Every structure is written in C-alpha cells, then in structure tokens.
Amino acid sequence: MTLHSSERRYTGRVINLDVDTVRFPDGSSGQLEMVRHPGAAAVVPLLDDLHAPDPRVLLLRQFRHAADGVIWEIPAGRKDAGETPLACAHRELEEETGMRAGRMEFLTSFFTTPGFTDERIHLYLASELTAGQHAREGDEFIELVPTPWSAIRRLIAGGEIVDGKTLVALLYVDAFRAIGRGA
C-alpha cells in the first residue's frame, strides 16, 4: 500500500486516531481508520531458574475496564517518547511489580491487531529478580501472584488467561525455552 494522505481525527493520552487514504496493491484507493500507538513492552518475570522442575512466574491479576473485570496478565506498558523497548521493559517490570531484573532477554515482537492499529509489543524474559520499588499509576489495580508453570499451563488450557500479549509471551516461552524440562 502507498499512503496518499493522513488526517489526525483524535489525539489522546494513550492512542491517536488517523484516517489514512491509501493505494491498495490492486491499484484502487480507499480510506482506513488507523489507531496509532507508540508501542509497548511486556515481560515474563521468572522467580526461579528457567529449568527448575516447575518454575514460578510472577503473574498479575489486574482490573481492566475493557474486560469488565480482573484478568491474568504479565507486566507490560506503553513506551515513552524516545524510550527503547528494553528500557520500557525494565521500567514497567519495576513499576508494576516492584522487582528489578538482573537479566532481560528479548523474545520476539508482534503486532497486536494490524487490521486497525500499528501497535507493536516487544516481549522479554526477565530473570535474576531483586527487590525494587513499584510505582503504579492511579488506574492500575494489581495483585501479584507467583504462579508455577504447571498452573500457567492449566490456566491457558482452561481459557482463564485471555490477554493476548500474555498468551503470546507465555506460549512462546513454553514452546522455545524448554520450561521445566531441562535444556
């Protein structure tokens, strides 16, 4: 696609909304509503060695208005202007959990919903955690829940983890990091 023009229709604290006029691959033109987002980082915080028999992850139970209740999540948040994804991951981990990572390993990046937004989330695996200081925002109501990997698998299989970034991150780690199975 080729962008012909873009008109900002809304500017907000978290997102912006543009109406883009584009040329499609077949040569036709049309308008698309695009939610613009600065991107985010999300972190799988390991409390134990990755290869322990049943390593624990520090999951969040967080109130989300859009979900009309409390859902399971991993720490995550929006990048600040000029902030790298890695710096964002470190900052969000500490702000939401009060923990600092001695090691932060990049996993992957993905677009959340490319049909209408350019939001991209960068996933990390945090280990060697030490106590820091949480600094939650006024709309963050979070319970920290150390969760064994076996319970995470049950929560996923039972449809209890419904947050997309959390599912992608946990399933990525399970598939590619040999959790609890040795390396």
* Residues known to be catalytic: 137
Please state, in angstroms and rounded to a whole number, the distance separating the CA atoms of residues 13 and 29: 31
The helix or strand, by DSSP H or E, that contains position 95, with its residue range, turns out to be helix 85-97
The sign of the torsion formed by the CA atoms of 137, 35, 42, 179 equals: positive
Q: Which residue has the tokens 């920290």?
A: 144
| CA–CA dist 53, 29 (Å, integer) | 56
Packing angle of the helix pair 164-176, 149-157 (nearest 10 deg): 130
Q: How far apart are CA 96 and CA 103, in angstroms?
A: 17
